[in-house]
Amino acid sequence: MIIKNCLVCGREFKIRPYTAKKEKWGKFCSIKCSNSSRIGKPAWNKGKHTRIKPWLGKKRPEMSNENHFFWKGDNVGYFALHHWINKQLGKPQKCEHCGKDKLVSKQIEWANKSGLYLRDLSDWLRLCKSCHKKYDNRNLNLQSNII
Is 60 within a domain?
A: no
Tell me: do 80 and 137 sit in the same domain. Answer: yes
Report, as an integer, the average pLDDT of 50-66. Answer: 66
* Domains contained in the chain, number: 2
In this prediction, residue 17 carries a pLDDT of 78
CB 97 within 8 A of CB 127: yes
Full residue range of the structural domain in which residue 14 is found: 2-37
> What are the residues facing 109 on neighbouring strands?
127
Tell me: do 27 and 85 sit in the same domain. Answer: no
Tell me: do 31 and 80 sit in the same domain. Answer: no
In sequence order, what are the residues at sequence separation of 6 or more whose Cβ sits closer than 8 angstroms to the Cβ of residue 103?
92, 93, 94, 95, 128
Tell me: do 136 and 81 sit in the same domain. Answer: yes
CB 124 within 8 A of CB 100: no
In a 3-state reduction of DSSP, which class is residue 94?
strand
Looking at per-residue confidence, does 124 or 70 come out higher?
A: 124
In this prediction, residue 54 carries a pLDDT of 60
Is 83 within a domain?
A: yes
Tell me: do 80 and 138 sit in the same domain. Answer: yes
Q: How far apart are the first and last CA of the chain?
A: 86
The structure's pTM equals 0.50
